[in-house]
């Protein structure tokens, strides 16, 4: 349904001539694009943060972690997109990088959309007090340099977008149990939905608790002479894994980019092609089929990553081959903070947490995750912030809408945004401009499960409803 934009000027959005401007006026405008990558690989010896304790210490770099940067310019508005190989980054990290980039390039911070891929084989950007390296500062400086280099690489360009499908690698990881069947959670309560259910639960499972999105989106940017500048894809799938515990790796995101760059690379006289894979709403989706229909296969490290990335790259290249690139499209951006209530533990949950943490170290736990969640409950109790300020953002690239949400978003939320968007084509990027935990719907909260637990989920139950409304409002504004 078409939305009418509010009758006020959006802060940070530059005025654009109307799309139906006279042919001579439009001919004078030149669309430009530039891309670059920055190496953000941390040193060995830092803690890999993709799993619960005990966490491994990085002992090997399998493949370099990178921040992949794309800058678009329609002659009036300039947008910057960055996708970094990190599990996630807090808002303050991105905000500092944006501030430095704005000072160096003049691109408004409101025109920058930065996200993490969510590889689980990366480290935290919070400075380790026992380390001489300030990784937070390193990653900020490398992102700033990457965007500045992308600006330096700006040249007349053409752009196109389209979608393909790679359904064989996406499965909803949350399974609904049969009526009357429940599963115990760390707090001693009972859940109706289970993440990554064990095979012994299969006879008691009713089916997936939510949908998947098999589509892969492809944004192709070429130079005026037909050389590829960059391809940005968007696929709604968690990390794949199969990485040795002590390895640093960009997971399938990095492998996809390497395949794209190898296939489309040009001569040394021009900047290298940049492949980018932005993660979409996949907070409840991964690469494991828990229905029992897919035969279990023992795979070597990185084998599954290469399989998924190879299939994804092949489909993106197929889609690219059929695209008709445009010489000019309008760009717009809209951004707004949304205040959400921070989730607080009930008094009985606080007492439960105190009891868990008072147990002797050698006591048998009632649930294998009770201690980390007891710690999270007390941390939520002690937090001084009653609300969480979240960046909601939308971009317009011609007739393509791009939404950005700073959560691990359930797929059904992304599908609702897509269905209700004023744009014919809409993609959503998760873990963008911040990281605020999982984002289930209110109905999924009722079912329980890992993604809904306090400490995994940090904001009010109605958050997804408010976020969807705000994102659709922003998409409506930039569509005009």
Residue 17, pLDDT score: 44
**Would the pLDDT of 12 be above 80?**
no
Instruction: Give the C-alpha distances (Å, rounded to integers) separating 4 from 84, 122, 416, 478.
Output: 34, 42, 19, 10
Position 68 in a domain: yes
Beta strands 78-84 and 112-116: pairing type? parallel
**Would the pLDDT of 15 be above 80?**
no
Position 132 in a domain: yes
Q: How confident is the model at residue 10 (pLDDT cuts 50, 70, 90)?
A: very low
**Greater pLDDT, 369 or 25:** 369
| Cα 65 off chain centre by | 16
Query: Which residues partner with 438 through β-bridges?
Result: 408
- Structural domain count, the chain: 1
**Burial code of 271-298, b = ≥16 C-beta within 10 A, e = fewer?**
bbbbbbbbbbbbbbbbbbbbeeeeeeee
Residue 27, pLDDT score: 57
How many CA atoms does the CB half-sphere of 264 hold within 13 Å?
A: 29
Averaged pLDDT of the chain:
93
Position 337 in a domain: yes
- Please give the average per-residue pLDDT across 124-133, as a whole number: 66
Residue-wise DSSP of 329-369: --EEEEEEEEEEEBP---HHHHHHHHHHHTS-TTSPPSSTT
Q: What gap in Å lies between CA 24 and CA 140, rounded to an integer?
A: 42
Percentage of the chain with pLDDT > 90?
88
Position 264 in a domain: yes
Position 421 in a domain: yes
- Please give the average per-residue pLDDT across 337-360, as a whole number: 97
**Would the pLDDT of 24 be above 80?**
no
Residue 54, pLDDT score: 87
Domain extent, residue 419, equals: 23-175+204-342+385-479
Beta strands 274-279 and 228-235: pairing type? parallel
Q: How confident is the model at residue 132 (pLDDT cuts 50, 70, 90)?
A: low
Q: What gap in Å lies between CA 302 and CA 1, rounded to an integer?
A: 44
Position 100 in a domain: yes
Is 275 in a helix, a strand, or coil? strand
Percentage of the chain with pLDDT > 70?
93
Whose CA is closest to 30, among 126, 128, 154, 124?
154
Is there a contact between 75 and 29 (Cβ–Cβ < 8 Å)? yes
Residue 127, pLDDT score: 59
**Would the pLDDT of 11 be above 80?**
no
* pLDDT tens-digit readout, 63-94: 999 999 999 999 999 999 999 999 999 999 99
What is the token pair recorded at 424?
């014919």
Report yes or no on whether pTM surpasses 0.75: yes
**Would the pLDDT of 182 be above 50?**
yes
Q: What gap in Å lies between CA 156 and CA 270, rounded to an integer?
A: 13
* pLDDT tens-digit readout, 426-447: 999 999 999 999 999 999 999 9
Q: How confident is the model at residue 295 (pLDDT cuts 50, 70, 90)?
A: confident
Q: What gap in Å lies between CA 460 and CA 436, rounded to an integer?
A: 12
Position 198 in a domain: no
**Would the pLDDT of 7 be above 50?**
no
**Would the pLDDT of 377 be above 60?**
yes
């Amino acid at each position: 349904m078409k939305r009418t934009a509010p009758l006020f000027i959006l802060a940070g959005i530059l005025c654009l001539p109307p799309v139906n401007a006279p042919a001579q006026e439009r001919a004078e405008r030149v669309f430009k694009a530039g891309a670059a990558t920055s190496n953000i690989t941390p040193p060995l010896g830092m803690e890999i943060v993709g799993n619960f304790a005990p966490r491994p210490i990085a002992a090997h770099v399998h493949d370099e972690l990178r921040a992949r940067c794309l800058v678009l310019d329609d002659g009036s508005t300039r947008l910057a997109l960055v996708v970094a190989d990190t599990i996630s980054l807090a808002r303050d990290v991105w905000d500092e990088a944006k501030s430095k980039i704005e000072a160096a390039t003049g691109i408004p911070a409101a025109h920058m959309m930065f996200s993490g891929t969510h590889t689980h084989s990366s480290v935290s950007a919070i400075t380790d007090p026992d380390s001489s390296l300030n990784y937070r500062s390193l990653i900020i400086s490398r992102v700033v340099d990457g965007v500045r280099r992308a600006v330096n690489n700006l040249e007349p360009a053409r752009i196109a977008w389209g979608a393909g499908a790679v359904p064989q690698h996406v499965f909803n990881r949350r399974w609904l149990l049969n009526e009357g069947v429940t599963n115990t959670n760390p707090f001693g309560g009972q859940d109706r939905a289970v993440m990554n259910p064990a095979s012994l639960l299969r006879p008691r499972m009713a089916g997936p608790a939510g949908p998947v999105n098999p589509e892969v989106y492809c944004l192709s940017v070429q130079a005026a002479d037909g050389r590829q500048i960059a391809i940005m894809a968007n696929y709604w799938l968690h990390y794949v894994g199969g990485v040795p515990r002590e390895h640093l790796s960009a997971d399938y995101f990095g492998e996809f980019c390497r395949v794209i760059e190898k296939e489309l690379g040009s001569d040394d006289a021009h900047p290298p092609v940049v492949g980018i894979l932005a993660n979409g709403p996949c907070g409840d989706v991964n690469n494991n089929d828990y229905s029992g229909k897919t035969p279990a296969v023992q795979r070597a490290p990185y084998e599954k990553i290469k399989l998924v990335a190879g299939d994804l790259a092949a489909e993106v290249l197929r889609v690219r081959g059929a695209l008709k690139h445009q010489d000019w499209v309008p760009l717009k951006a809209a951004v707004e903070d949304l205040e959400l209530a921070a989730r607080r533990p009930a008094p009985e949950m606080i007492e439960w947490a105190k009891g868990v943490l008072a147990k002797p170290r050698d006591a048998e736990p009632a649930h294998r995750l009770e201690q980390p969640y007891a710690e999270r409950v007390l941390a939520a109790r002690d937090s001084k912030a009653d609300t969480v300020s979240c960046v909601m953002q939308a971009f317009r690239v011609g007739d393509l809408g791009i939404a950005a949400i700073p959560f691990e978003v359930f797929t059904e939320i992304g599908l609702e945004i897509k269905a209700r968007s004023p744009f014919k084509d809409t993609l959503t990027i998760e873990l963008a401009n911040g990281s605020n935990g999982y984002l289930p719907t209110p109905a999924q909260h009722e079912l329980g499960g890992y993604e809904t637990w306090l400490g995994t989920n940090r904001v009010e139950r109605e958050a997804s409803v408010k976020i969807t409304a705000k994102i659709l409002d922003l998409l409506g504004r930039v569509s005009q």
